[in-house]
């Protein structure tokens, strides 16, 4: 997860800025992903085999700060909301 915003415009703006370093960056509304907190537009790159692999990717694009990246499960299980991995 590279961003979590309240407006689609903000998310699209972040997506455009990130495209140079993360070409596969995408945007989705969290309401459509049960494992995410509803009400946000998320900017993300996926999939990764593990949370650690996602964090390694974030570091490789210069976003190794917990305010700029974290790994989150995209699943149909709301219980997965608490399963996040942050960079140290």
Q: What φ, ψ does residue 75 adopt, rounded to 5°? A: -145, 175
Q: pTM for this one?
A: 0.90
What is the 3 state secondary structure string of the chain? CCEEECCHHHHHHHHHHHCCCCCCCEEEEHHHCCCCCCCCEEEECCCCCCHHHHHHHHHHCCCCCCCCCCEECCCCCHHHHHCEECCC
In this predicted structure, what is the pLDDT of residue 62?
94
Q: What percent of the chain has pLDDT over 90?
A: 95
In this predicted structure, what is the pLDDT of residue 77?
96
Domain range for 57:
3-85
Confidence of residue 45 (pLDDT cuts 50, 70, 90): very high
**Overall domain count for the chain:** 1
In this predicted structure, what is the pLDDT of residue 88?
80
Confidence of residue 61 (pLDDT cuts 50, 70, 90): very high
């Amino acid at each position: 997860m590279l961003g979590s915003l309240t407006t689609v415009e903000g998310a699209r703006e972040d997506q455009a800025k990130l495209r140079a370093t993360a070409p596969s960056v995408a945007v989705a509304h969290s309401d459509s992903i049960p494992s995410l907190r509803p009400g946000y537009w998320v900017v993300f790159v996926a999939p990764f085999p593990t949370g650690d692999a996602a964090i390694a990717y974030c570091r490789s694009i210069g976003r190794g700060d917990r305010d700029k990246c974290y790994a989150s499960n995209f699943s149909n299980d709301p219980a997965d909301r608490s399963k996040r991995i942050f960079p140290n």
